[in-house]
Structure formats: C-alpha cells, structure tokens
Amino acid sequence: MTTPPMPPMPPTGPPSGPGGYGAAARCAMLTGFFVLRRCGRPAAAHCPSCTRAVCPEHSGPDALCSECRGRLAEHAHDPSWTYGYRRTHYENSSSVYGSNTWYPDFDQHDRNAFEAGGGDYGSAPGGDDWAAASGDHTGGDEWDGSDTGGDWDSGGDGLVDS
Amino acid sequence: MFWRKQRKAWERLHPLHRQLAEEQRFSATLPAAEWAELATGLATHDQTITKRKWRLPPRAASVLVPVLRVLREDMEPGAPLGVTTDLRGAVVPDKGGELRGLQVRPPALAGSERFFTDPWLLVRAELRDGSVLELAVVDRVRQRRIRKKSRSGKIKHKVKEKPVRVVRATRRLPKGMAVARPAPPAPAWLAVTAQQKENGRTVLRATAKGPAHADHRVIELILTVTGELFRWTPPRRSAATPRRAR
C-alpha cells in the first residue's frame, strides 16, 4: 500500500489564523476532550481531506489529520477514536440538554469561539449565581430504599410488604 | 499446542494488563502517557491473546479503554492518573452486605435479601487546566432469594437481581477559577452542585443514578456526567462567534 503524497505547504503568504497558510503556520488541531486547546505546534503538512495545517504528531501515515482519521474510527481501539467521538458526543449531548447551541460551540468548526492560540478556560460573566446551589449534592447517591418496588411488589411472589 | 507463542505474547504485556486478565482487577497510579500505552495493549488484546484463560472482561474494552483514551487527551503526558477497577462483577461475596430475611406469605416459604455494592471504576486525574477530576462508577445490586412451594409440592428457588448504577464525577478547580451556571440547565436525572471551599477552590459535583444499562451505553453516561462539570467553566468567547449552520 502506497502512502498518498503529502500536500505541499505554501511557501509564503499572510497567516490567517492558527491554521492558516504561511511561513509560521501552526497546527490547527483542537486537542483534548473536555479541556479543549489548540495544538499550536509548527505545522508540517496539510490534511488532504480538510486542508488544515497539522503537525507531525497529528498527521497519520495516510496524511489525514487526527480528526479526519477519527471520523473513520468506529471503536476506541483506534488511537484517533477520541477525535471522532468528541464530535459525536457533543452533538448527542445537545439532545440531552435540549439545546442545539451549547455543545456544538466547542467543535473545531467554530474555532473562532476560542481565543487564537489559547483555548484556556477563563472567567465567565455572571459569576456567583451558582452560590444558591452550594452545599452537598442531593442527588440521592446513597441507597434510600425508595426504589425497592418494581416487579417484586406485584402479587404472586408471596412477599409481605414490611 | 503448548502455547509457546501465546506465552511469549503474554510476557510482553504490561504487568497491569496481565493482572487485569488474571484477577480482573487492578489499582495503580501512573503517568498519563503510560496509561496510553496500556490502553493500546488492552485494545489489541483479542488480536494477540487468544487463550481463553487470559481473556479480558468485556468492560475492559468497552469502558476502560475509552475512559483512558479520553482522559489522556486532557492530561499532560507526565501527569498522574490513578485508576482502580474491579471487573469481577457485582455479585461476589466480598462485595455483599448483610443478609436479611424477608417477610413472606404462601406460597413462598422463605425469602432473603442482600445488597451488593460494586465500585468497579474509580479514577483520579490531574487535568492540564489545573483541575482534578475524580470519577466513580458504582453498581448497586439488590438480590432477593425466594423459596416457594407449588401446589404439586415441588420446592422452587428463585433469585431476582435489580441493579442500579450511580455515576459520580467531582472536579476540583484551581484557585481563582470562576464558575457560572450554564444556560441550558442539566436534565433532572443529573444532579449538579457547586461548593465554594474556604481555600478559594470550587468543587463541582455531578451525580446520575439509574438502571444499569448495557456496557456500550456506560461510556456515554460517564462522558455526559463528566462533561456537565466542564459546562460550568466555559471558555472565553471572542467578540464575533459564527455559529455553524446545522
């Protein structure tokens, strides 16, 4: 099996962001699963599928970037699986929260949502409205016996409710 | 015939990998990069080891490997990652509580009940944003044994088990990191609290409790519960944020 040729890097040109073409092109891959950050290492090639600049670490033997390879990975056995599953997970979580605007913001296609070259977490406006929820959680993590019903409580088992 | 190749492959495995296959449990704290190597070994176990005696429990591939891969992405290579896993199942003697009798009426002759607590995955990870993530997946199983007598005089023993799964994630933020309640609230089945500590740190906790699903759904639940904690510390937004067309 032959490896497809790596797309050439444009020699010059004004950089247009972390993934832009230019002498100082940086890897545009978004790393992490929950703590998202741009890779930012010097780019060595461009992904033939999405044309983003990628560093050697995020470029596989088939020249595809980790994210494009992850999209093809079906199982966690593939090291690139997290890159593909991140998108699936965030898209599915929109249905969990009943909102289609929150988690998709974190995706790589909205790279402008993150500060250039950063991605570090910062302060958010509206700070302490969470304080009302302080204290230990009341999520019922101890066995409270409240759900000991089910099919056992239906007649015929010979059990006596105590 | 004599498993020479298998034995050689077995000896090349990571010690924790071998321990998981033999005892179905391990507990260790290693640098994140070493866990990544272990995850790769666990993921390819079925291709290298075919001997039945050394087969891995199913949750190793369906839950443990994805969790290791996801956490590795959010950690520096040298950051410590502690994992305690016990994949023997919930109904084993040392995980059981006290046996207590049940009041019964005919046709039941006797009944007993026992609860098993199985914390089969405990993780502690120091993430690259300075926060510490702790994750616990605990199965609780109620087992009831009933002895019945049918009209024909036969004695029958029946066993019923009702498993409940609790996924709990805790994130201890670094000092000074601000939190804000996210706009779309968490669903009712996902309880979240934020607690301000005296040392200036904030502790976020998320807990979900429900019936024990099949293992291929566990990883989704784990990531949803854990991901909720990261919604409370959103990234900074630039002035103009184009939305992706959906």
Please tell me the total count of domains within chain A: 1
Q: Flag whether the ipTM exceeds 0.85.
A: no
Percentage of chain A modeled with pLDDT above 90 = 0
Q: CB distance B73–A158 less than 8 Å?
A: no
Cβ atoms of residues A82 and B73 within 8 Å = yes
User: Looking at the domain assignment, is residue A146 inside a domain?
Assistant: no
B131 falls within a domain: no
Give me the residue from A33, A77, A130 closest to B43, CB to CB: A77
Q: What is the pLDDT along chain B (246 residues), one digit of tens a residue?
A: 567 888 888 888 899 999 999 999 999 999 988 888 888 888 888 888 888 888 888 888 889 999 999 998 889 888 999 999 999 988 988 898 889 998 988 889 999 999 999 999 999 999 988 899 999 999 999 999 999 998 898 999 999 999 999 999 999 998 888 888 888 888 888 999 998 888 888 999 999 988 886 666 888 889 999 988 988 886 655 444 444 443
A112·B241 Cβ contact <8 A:
yes
Given this model, what pLDDT does residue A42 score?
87
**Tens-digit pLDDT profile for residues B33-92:** 888 888 888 888 888 888 888 888 888 888 999 999 999 888 988 899 999 999 998 898
- Inter-chain contact B144–A92, Cβ cutoff 8 Å? no
| Contact call for B227 and A89, based on CB within 8 A | yes
- Out of A1-10, A70-79, A146-155, which region has the weakest mean confidence (pLDDT)? A146-155
Give B-chain residues touching A66 at CB under 8 angstroms. Answer: none
Higher pLDDT, B215 or A157: B215
What secondary structure letter does DSSP report for A37?
E
Does A10 score more than 70 pLDDT?
Answer: no
Q: Which residues of A touch B182 (CB under 8 A)?
A: 102
The partner residues of B115 in beta bridges, in order of sequence, read B142
Chain B residue numbers touching A98 (CB-CB < 8 A): 184, 187
Q: What is the pLDDT of residue B238?
A: 43
The residues with which B169 forms a beta bridge, in sequence order, are B135, B206
Q: What are B28's strand-pairing partners?
A: B83
Relative to beta strand B100-101, strand B108-126 is antiparallel
- Domain assignment present for residue B132? The answer is no
Q: Is residue A99 part of a domain?
A: yes
Q: Is residue B166 part of a domain?
A: no
Query: DSSP label at A71?
Result: H
Please indicate, yes or no, if residue B81 is contained in any of the structural domains.
yes
Cβ-based neighbour number of residue A110 at 10 Å:
16
Kindly tell me if the per-residue pLDDT of A155 is higher than 80.
no
Report yes or no on B125 lying in a domain: no
> How far lies A20's CA from each of A7, A56, B27, B151, in Å?
14, 16, 45, 81
What is d(CA B196, CA B173) in angstroms, rounded to the nearest whole number? 10
Averaged over A46-56, what is the pLDDT? 86
Q: Give residue A151's pLDDT.
A: 37
Q: Give the number of other CB atoms < 10 A from CB of residue B131.
A: 24
- Mean pLDDT in chain A? 61
Q: pLDDT-based confidence at A158, cuts 50/70/90?
A: low
Is the residue at B56 inside a domain?
yes
Most confident of A3-17, A64-78, B6-20: B6-20
Residue B164: predicted pLDDT:
92
Query: CB–CB of A119/A36 below 8 Å?
Result: yes
| Residue at A161 is within a domain | no
Q: What one-letter code names the amino acid at B210?
A: G
The H or E element spanning position A46 is: strand A45-46
Which residue in this structure is represented by tokens 């067309």?
A: B245
Q: Report if residue A35 sits inside a domain.
A: yes
Per the structure, the complete domain to which residue A39 belongs is given by: 30-113
pLDDT-derived band at A29, boundaries 50, 70, 90: confident
Cross-chain Cβ contact B208/A139 below 8 Å: yes
Inside any domain, residue B221: no
Give the rounded percent of residues in chain A with a pLDDT score beyond 70: 46
Residue A6 lies in a domain: no
- φ and ψ at B240, to 5 degrees? -115, 115
Residues B178, B126, B65: CA angle, nearest 5 degrees = 125
Using a CB–CB cutoff of 8 Å, tell me whether A137 touches chain B.
Answer: yes
Q: What's the structural domain count of chain B?
A: 1
Mean pLDDT, rounded, for A45-68: 85
On the CB side of B184, CA atoms within 13 Å amount to 14
- Asked, for residue A158, whether it belongs to a domain, the answer is no
Indicate whether B20 belongs to any domain: yes
What residues make up the domain containing B16?
Answer: 8-86
pLDDT computed for residue B148 by the predictor: 94
Domain annotation covers residue A46: yes
From the list B104, B191, B242, the residue facing A160 with the nearest CB is B104
HEC string for chain B: CCCHHHHHHHHHCCHHHHHHHHHCEEEEEEEHHHHHHHHHHHHCHHHHCCCHHHCCCHHHHHHHHHHHHHHHHCCCCCCEEEEEEECCCCCCHHHECCCEECCECCCEEEEEEEEEEEEEEEEEEECCCCCEEEEEEEEEEEEEEEEEECCCCCEEEEEEEEEEEEEEEEEECCCCCCCCCCCCCCCCCEEEEEEECCCCCEEEEEEEEEECCCHHHHHHHHHHHHHHHHHCCCECCCCCCCCCCC
CB B86 within 8 A of CB B25: yes
Half-sphere exposure of A36 (CA within 13 A, CB side): 30
- Quote the pLDDT of residue B10: 87
Number of alpha carbons in the 13 Å side-chain half-sphere of residue B180: 14
Q: Which residues contact A145 (CB under 8 A, 6 or more apart)?
A: none
Size of chain A, expressed as the number of residues it contains: 162
pLDDT at A147: 40
CB-CB under 8 Å, A157 with B108: yes
pLDDT at residue B222, as a whole number: 92
